[in-house]
Every structure is written in C-alpha cells, then in structure tokens.
Structure 1
Amino acid sequence: MLETNEKIILAIVDDHPVVIEGLKTLLKQEPNIAVVNSFTRGKEFVSFLRTNEVDVVLLDIMLPDVNGIDLCKEIKQVAPDIIVLALSNQAERSIILQILQNGANGYLLKNASAEELIRCLNEALSGELAFSKEVKEMITRPGVNELKKIPTLTKREKQILQLVAEGKTTPVMAKELNLSPLTVDTHRRNLLQKFEARNVAELIMAAVQHKML
C-alpha cells in the first residue's frame, strides 16, 4: 500500500493496451491513487501535462512517436516536480543511466512484481531513486571502463593528449611545444600504453570516459 496520505494523480504512457490495463487493475487497489490517465503516445501526454496536474508518470522507453529517454527530459521541463518512473523491457545499463541523467526518478523492468512496483512508487514519493531489484543489481555492478584505474599523466603528456584530441599531427605538435618529433612520438606511444588504447580513436574515447578531455 502506498504510504503517502495524499491522493496521487498518476499517468501511464505505454503503447501496449494490455500493459496499461494490467497496471490500471493493479493500481485500482491502491486507495491513495486518485486518477489513472493513460496514453499510448508521448506527445499526447506532454500536451495533457501542459494543462493538467500529474504527480507520477509510469513511462515506457519505447514509444511509437518519440524516444522515451528524450521524452523524460521534455516532461521534466514542462513539469519539474513530476515523478518519472521508467517502465521498460530494456535491461541495458547505458539506457538506464541516460534516462536518469534526463531526470527520471527511477527505473523498473516490466517483469517486476506488483510489490516491487508499489515499493518503487513509495520510494520515489519519498524523494529516493527507485529501482526494481534486477535494475538495482545492474547499476551497482561497475562497468568495464570503471574498473580500470585512471592513468596518471605528466604535464607534458596532458599537453600532448589535448593536441591529439584537436587532431594535430606530430610535426605540428613538435613545433608548438618546441620538441623533436621523436620526443612527441614517444609521448604518444606512452599515452596509448597508459590508456590501453590501440589507436587514437580509442585513446580519445578512453580519455573522455575518464573526464580527462
């Protein structure tokens, strides 16, 4: 049962009628849910939101007219205080992190139990980030790049790295830094080794991931 004493105005945005009906049936049992509005398209919900109050929205990621991750950001711009709980079949860590960055208050997989859904609603209404069990395990598991130690660079290597990112060639770097081309190439090889990168593209990507560019 929802722990808040206030009536909650809730909306469901999902393009599968069976999912909507199932959620409505479940939420009808909760006395603190006042209204359950449903929408099969994201833009319809945004239009509704501009003139109506909604406390919580259960938002599918895959919609026919708009990307749910982008829609989350738009929803938060229209109604900053609304609680957005993503409800999806997409069990990819990158997708979860993207929608959280766009303001989502939680993420549930559609195979979550009814108890998990109600728990997540309670947690989100209490100001916490809410996740179903499987999602929580996924996001607390560090990614491969996060397990790698951040390389320690010398001042000169940081200069070279920045110039590499700018697309400068070895001769141009040598001239700008008043070094020999051989010295510049040595620094470039050291950077590739420190970042465990096979080429310049991987080097730049790894440096960006470590927030060094």
Structure 2
Amino acid sequence: MLTKNTALAIVDDHPIVLEGLQRLLANVNGITITGCFTTGSAFISFLEENKVDVLLLDITLPDINGIELCKTIKEMSPATHVLALSNHSERSMILQMIQNGATGYLLKNISAEELIACIHEAMSGLITFSKAVREIMARPSVGELKSTPQLTKREKEILYLIAEGQTTPDIAQQLNLSPLTVETHRKNLIQKFQVRNVAALIKMASQQGLV
C-alpha cells in the first residue's frame, strides 16, 4: 500500500503528457505530486533538495538520455523508484533501464488503473512492467531471434571450415594463412557470437543458418 506521503515526480518533455498525468494522479490516495519537469537537468536540481519516492521518467528528453539519467538518479538517491514511461518498446532499452536501476518499465499506452497498480508494486519493492512490456519480455521479436553478427568474408570461410571439423593447422594450410592468424579469427568469432567455446559457436552459427 502507498503511504500518504508518497512523493511522486514526473519528467517528460511533452507538457500535454505532464498535464494528463497530473490530472490522472491528482486524486489518487497516497500520492502527492511534488514536481513536473521537461528536462533531466531540472529534475536533478530538484532532487538535490527534495525527496522523491517515485519518478515517472520518459526516455527521450531534450538534454539527456533517460537511460543515463536513471543511472545518475539512482547514484544520487538509491531509494527513489524510477519507472520508465515511454513509447520505446525495444527489448534492449527495457533491459538497459533495469540494469541502470529502474524499478519498472511502462509503455505510454498503459491504462490509468494499470499505472496506479504499477506504482503500488514499485513502492512495495517489486520490479514492475506494464502488460505490454511483459509480453515483449516474454517473446523476443523475430528480428532479435534472427539477428546475426556481421562477419567478414574471411571469418565466414573460417567459420565454415571450423564447422567442418578442421583444425587450426588444417585451416591455415588451406587458406595460406599463419596458424596465429587463424586462431585470432577463431577468437573473434567466439566473441562476436558471444559464446564460450567452439562447440557453442558451431551450434549458434547452425541455428542462424550460417553453416
């Protein structure tokens, strides 16, 4: 449950969004709106002098990226619960916000009831997502599943030969390269595919249709 003195602030560069959120939350028991800001720097100045329990934070701001701003806010005030409220539905952005200390991520198509419920969850110490975000997190997009590292022509050749089971000396002789160069390419491939070993590299490359 929200306490009567839950101080909530909003950062969004669209005045109409600020006005709408203020009206929406003005009469909610337990919430006191302590400030509305159109820039990140204005909020930072406010936070230096004031306690903020919950912050509704847009990611696209005129002076600072909201993801970086979230990190700064958590460093200044670890107790502040930052809830991203954004139109950006990219899985990578959601993860970056959580990694930078956000308590939740909400899309702007959220209903009033769901918004209030998410604020309650945040104040209870839970990581909270709007329904649309939960669906995004549960099902990665087709593009993400099919995304493949950008490989050079040489890397593709070596990847194919590795998948064929050839050793570093074999590959070096066939491509007229030094074993050290082949080994460097092998390490680069493992790094690009973000895997730990050659077996995982071959499996990932096979799943993505590269071998």
- Which residues in structure 2 correspond to 1:108-187 (within 5 Å)? 108-142=106-140, 182-183=169-170, 185=172
Deviations 1:157-208 (A, max 9, x none): xxxxxxxxxxxxx9xxxxxxxxx9625759xxxxxxxxxxx9975542212x
TM value normalised by structure 1: 0.70
Shift of the alpha carbon at 1:31?
2.3
Cα distance in structure 1, aligned partners of 2:172 and 2:66: 45
Cα distance in structure 2, aligned partners of 1:126 and 1:59: 19
Residue from 90, 96, 104 that aligns with 2:94: 96
Cα distance in structure 2, aligned partners of 1:121 and 1:67: 22
Residue in 2 that maps onto 1:64: 62
TM value normalised by structure 2: 0.71
Cα distance in structure 1, aligned partners of 2:168 and 2:118: 58
Which segments of 5 or more consecutive residues in structure 1 lack a partner in the other structure?
149-169, 171-179, 187-197
Cα distance in structure 1, aligned partners of 2:145 and 2:15: 42
Deviations 1:14-45 (A, max 9, x none): 00000000000011121211233100000110
Cα distance in structure 2, aligned partners of 1:142 and 1:211: 22
Aligned residues: 167
Whichever residue aligns with residue 123 of structure 2, its letter is L
Residue in 1 that maps onto 2:35: 37
SS at match of 1:51: coil
Deviations 1:129-162 (A, max 9, x none): 11100001111225779979xxxxxxxxxxxxxx
SS at match of 1:112: coil
Q: 1:91 to 1:71 in 2, by over 3 A?
A: same
Cα distance in structure 2, aligned partners of 1:44 and 1:107: 22
| Percent sequence identity over aligned pairs | 51
Cα distance in structure 2, aligned partners of 1:89 and 1:199: 40
Q: CA RMSD for the aligned pairs?
A: 2.9
Shift of the alpha carbon at 1:47?
1.1
Residue in 1 that maps onto 2:26: 28
Cα distance in structure 2, aligned partners of 1:12 and 1:78: 17
